[in-house]
Amino acid sequence: MKKITLKDIASEFGVSISTVSKAINDSHEISHSLKDKIQAYAKKHHYKPNRLALSLLNKSTKNIGVIVPNILNYFFTQVFYGIEKTANARGYNIISCTSDESYLKEVKTVELLSSGTVDGLILSLSEETQSKGNFAHIEEFIENQLPLVLFDRVTDKIECDKVIVDDFEASYKTTRHLIKTGCRNVAVVSTIFNSSVGKLRIEGYKKALADFEIPYDERLNVQINRDDDLQLLLSLLLGNKEVDAIIALDEMTAVDVLYILKSKNIQVPEEISIVGFTNGRLSKYVSPSLTMISQHGKYIGELSANLLIDRIENKEDFMPFTTKLVKTSLIQRESTLSIS
Amino acid sequence: MKKITLKDIASEFGVSISTVSKAINDSHEISHSLKDKIQAYAKKHHYKPNRLALSLLNKSTKNIGVIVPNILNYFFTQVFYGIEKTANARGYNIISCTSDESYLKEVKTVELLSSGTVDGLILSLSEETQSKGNFAHIEEFIENQLPLVLFDRVTDKIECDKVIVDDFEASYKTTRHLIKTGCRNVAVVSTIFNSSVGKLRIEGYKKALADFEIPYDERLNVQINRDDDLQLLLSLLLGNKEVDAIIALDEMTAVDVLYILKSKNIQVPEEISIVGFTNGRLSKYVSPSLTMISQHGKYIGELSANLLIDRIENKEDFMPFTTKLVKTSLIQRESTLSIS
DNA sequence: CTGAAAGCGCTAACAC
DNA sequence: GTGTTAGCGCTTTCAG
C-alpha cells in the first residue's frame, strides 16, 4: 500500500479534496457523520499529511541544521546531544552535518542547507574556515533571513547569536591554579593554535602569568601540527627548561602527554602536573586520573538550540543578538597537586 | 534581501516563470542572450532552487533518516560517522534522531520521518523496543514503500536489509581464546541481556564452553540492570567460584570491572583476565590496557548507507533482502594472557 | 455543510 | 524562442 493522500480519500468517499482536509482537521463546517467516517478511514490507513507540502505552504520546515567540525570529538558529541534533546522537545528535527574541519565541505553544506531545508542553523566553524578567515558563505546564509547560532568556534566578523565557552577565564584560572600549587614553569601544548578557541586559551594563560609576574616564555608554548611528533616536541620542551606543569588544549593530547611522561619515568604530578581541556571519558580512567576543564557541552547544545528556536519563532521582533558565555569547571583529579 | 524565487526573476525581466526555469537549467530552447542575462542575475543574487518544491515534484528528498538508541555511545557515534560520510559522498543528507532507548520516542520518530521527510531509514532498535517485541511502527514504515536498513539491534520479525555484527562468533572466539590461555571459569557481565545482540553474545559464549566440554554455570552469567550495583554483584560473583576471566558486554562495564578488581587487589590478567566489547577510546588507555572486541562501527555505517541508497535508487527492481554479517576483531592488549 | 479556486516554488509537456 | 498549463499535496479563502 502506497502512501495515502487527501486525493485518495476524497475519491474513496466521492467528496472533494478540501472537504477531506477540513474533515481531518476537525473543522466545524463539516457534518459530524462525514467527519467521523473520514477520520476513521484516515486513521485506519495511517494517513499523515505530507510534511513537504506543509512546509512549502507554511514556509517552515521544523528542521534545524547542525554543522560540527567533527562528530567523533566527544565535546561535539555532547553538544550535539544537547541540541537534539531540546530541539526535539520543542518540536524540531535535526539535520546533522559534519564539516570534517574542511572549509570547502563547510561551504557546500551551508549552501545546501540554505535552500529551503531548514529553518535555522547551528554551526561551529571548521578549523580551516577559521584560519582562512573567509566567511562569505555564512554571510550569504544570513542574508536569506535564516537565523544562525554560532557556538564554540566563532568569529567577530559575523553578527548573530553566539554561545561560547569562557576559554580565556578557563585557562586563566587553570594557570593560576597550577601556580598556586607551586608550579613556576607552566607549558602549554596546543593542536588548535589557529582557532579562536586556541588563541583565547593562550591569552588567558599569558594573563595569569603576568598577574603572578612570571615572564612569558615562547618556548613553553608548543604548537603541534597534525603530522608532528608529539614525543619529539615534548622532549625538546623538557630539555629546554625545568617545566613543572603542562596544560594540554585537548583531551587526546593530555592523555598522550601523560603517557609520554610516564614512559620517561617522570612522576605525575610530583615532578610535572598535567591539566587538559575537555572532560571526556578518558581522563577519569587513566592512571593517574587527569585534572580536566569541563566545558559543559550538553548545556552549550541546549543553550544554542533554545537561542535558535527563540529566534525562529519570533522573526518579527528584532531582538538584539546575544553572546552567551558559558563558564567552565576545573575538575581536580590526581594529575595536579593540591594547593597547600 | 529575502530568498529569491523564479517568480522574482521572471518579473525582473518581464518574462514568464518557465522561461526563467529553462534559462537557469541551460535549456537549448532559450536564446543565448536571454540565458546569459538571466544566469548572471541568478548567480549574482545567489538563486538556489527551493529543495522543498523539487522534492515535492520528484518525490525524492535526498535525505535519509538515521535513528540510533544513544549517540553518546561510541559505537553508535562511529556508525553514525560512517553513515554520514558515505551518504554525503552519494549526495544524501542525514536527518539524525535518537531514540534514547525508549520505545515511545522511537515510534514517534519513525512516524515523523515516514511522512515525506526522508527517502529511507537506517535504524538500530531501542532496547525497550526489542524487549517489548512490538514492531508495528516499523512495519507501517515499510508499507509506505520506503526502504529500511536495520543495523546491529535487529529483529527477525521484520523483513528488510540488515547489517549485523557477528556477535555469536565474536563471543565464541573470545571465550575460546580465553580458554586457550588457560582460563576455566569464564564469567560474563551483561547490561544488555534483553537485546538481540546481548543474547547472541551469550549463545556464542555457551557454544565455546560446550566445545571445550566446560559446563555452563548460570551463576557466571551476571545481568546488570541500570540501577544495580556492579560492585556488589561482582563481589557475589567472585565469592561464588574461582572466576579467572570476565567478558564484559560493553566498554564501560569492562572498564568498571577492571577498576573494581584493582580496588580488590586482584591482579589483571594474572588472576583474572578481562575482555570487553566495543573497542572505544577508553580501553587503550587504562592500565593495564584492555583486550577488546572491535565491531568496526564506521564500516557498519558505510555498509548500511550503501545498502539503503542502493535500494532507494533501484526501487523498481526487487532485489532480495540481504543481511550482511560483519566480523569482529579481537584486539589483544594487556588484560589477557597470551596463548602459551 | 460542501466545493471550487488560488497558491506555496518548481518542472515538463505542449502550444504558439 | 517563449508562454501556457497542469500538477506535486496541502490549506485557506470565498462561493454556493
pLDDT digits (tens, 9 = 90+) for A45-84: 999 999 999 999 999 999 999 999 999 988 999 999 999 9
Touching check for A142 and chain B: CB below 8 Å? no
User: Is B332 a domain residue?
Assistant: no
Q: What are phi and psi of B60, to 5 degrees?
A: -155, 125
Max CA distance (Å), chain A: 89
What is the spatial order of strands in the sheet that B329-331 belongs to?
B221-223, B186-190, B245-248, B273-277, B291-294, B329-331
Q: For position B281, what pLDDT does the model report?
A: 83
B317 and B213, same structural domain?
A: no
Q: Which helix (H) or strand (E) covers residue A87, if one does?
A: helix A74-89
Please classify residue A84 by burial: count the beta carbons closer than 10 Å to its beta carbon, then call 0-12 exposed, 13-18 middle and 19+ buried: buried
A194 closest CA partner among A247, A249, A231: A249
Touching check for A190 and chain B: CB below 8 Å? no
Which stretches of chain B score pLDDT less than 50?
A: none
A184 and A291, same structural domain?
A: yes
Residue listed under C-alpha cell 502506497? A2
CATH of the domain at A109: 3.40.50.2300
Is the peptide bond preceding residue B320 cis, with omega within 30 degrees of 0? no
A267 and A243, same structural domain?
A: yes
A280 and A183, same structural domain?
A: yes
B19 and B119, same structural domain?
A: no
Question: What domain count does chain A have?
Answer: 3
A313 and A282, same structural domain?
A: no
Q: Which nucleotide is nearest to B22 (CA to C1')?
A: C11
User: Is A338 a domain residue?
Assistant: no
- Are A286 and B281 within 8 A, CB to CB? no
Q: Which residue of B has its CA nearest to A62?
A: B117
Q: For position B320, what pLDDT does the model report?
A: 94
- Are B287 and A286 within 8 A, CB to CB? yes
Q: For position A240, what pLDDT does the model report?
A: 74
User: Is B55 a domain residue?
Assistant: no
User: Is B262 a domain residue?
Assistant: yes
With a threshold of 0.75, does the pTM exceed it? Answer: yes
Q: Measure, in angstroms, how far nucleotide D7 C1' is from residue B57 CA.
A: 8
For residue A101, list chain B residues with Cβ-Cβ distance below 8 A: none
- Are B71 and A53 within 8 A, CB to CB? no
Cα separation, B90 vs B81, in Å, equals: 14
User: Is B209 a domain residue?
Assistant: yes
Cell of B327: 566480523
- Are A1 and B78 within 8 A, CB to CB? no
Q: For position B226, what pLDDT does the model report?
A: 82
Q: For position B60, what pLDDT does the model report?
A: 94
Angle at which helix B251-263 crosses helix B230-240, to 10 degrees, equals 70
Q: Measure, in angstroms, how far nucleotide D14 C1' is from residue B125 CA.
A: 49
User: Is B77 a domain residue?
Assistant: yes
- Are A50 and B95 within 8 A, CB to CB? no
B66 and B161, same structural domain?
A: yes
Q: What is the 3-state secondary structure (H, E, C) of chain B?
A: CCCCCHHHHHHHHCCCHHHHHHHHCCCCCCCHHHHHHHHHHHHHCCCCCCHHHHHHHHCCCCEEEEEECCCCCHHHHHHHHHHHHHHHHCCCEEEEEECCCCHHHHHHHHHHHCCCCCCCEEECCCHHHHHHCCCHHHHHHHHCCCCEEEECCCCCCCCCEEEEECHHHHHHHHHHHHHHCCCCCEEEEECCCCCHHHHHHHHHHHHHHHHCCCCCCHHHEEECCCCCCHHHHHHHHHHHCCCCEEEECCHHHHHHHHHHHHHCCCCCCCCCEEEEECCCCHHHHCCCCCEEEECCHHHHHHHHHHHHHHHHHCCCCCCCCCEEEECCEEECCCCCCCCC
Instruction: Identify which of A61, A94, A282 has the shortest CB distance to residue B285.
Output: A282
Instruction: Identify which of B93, B97, B117 has the shortest CB distance to residue A51.
Output: B117
B230 and B138, same structural domain?
A: no
Tens of each residue's pLDDT in chain A, 340 residues? 678 999 999 998 999 999 999 999 998 888 888 989 999 999 999 999 999 999 999 999 999 999 999 999 889 999 999 999 999 999 999 999 999 999 999 999 999 999 999 999 999 999 999 999 999 999 999 988 899 999 999 999 999 999 999 999 999 999 999 999 999 999 999 998 988 899 999 999 999 999 999 999 999 999 998 888 999 999 999 987 789 999 999 998 999 999 999 999 999 999 999 999 999 888 988 889 999 999 999 999 999 999 999 999 987 778 899 999 999 999 999 999 998 7
A217 and A184, same structural domain?
A: yes
Q: For position B280, what pLDDT does the model report?
A: 87
Q: What are phi and psi of B258, to 5 degrees?
A: -55, -45
Q: Which residue of A has its CA nearest to B282?
A: A282
Q: Give the range of the structural domain holding residue A262, as residue numbers without chain letter.
A: 167-295
**What is the CB neighbour count within 10 angstroms for residue B159?**
12
B70 and B28, same structural domain?
A: no
Q: Measure, in angstroms, how far nucleotide D5 C1' is from residue A138 CA.
A: 39
**First vs last C-alpha separation in chain B:** 74
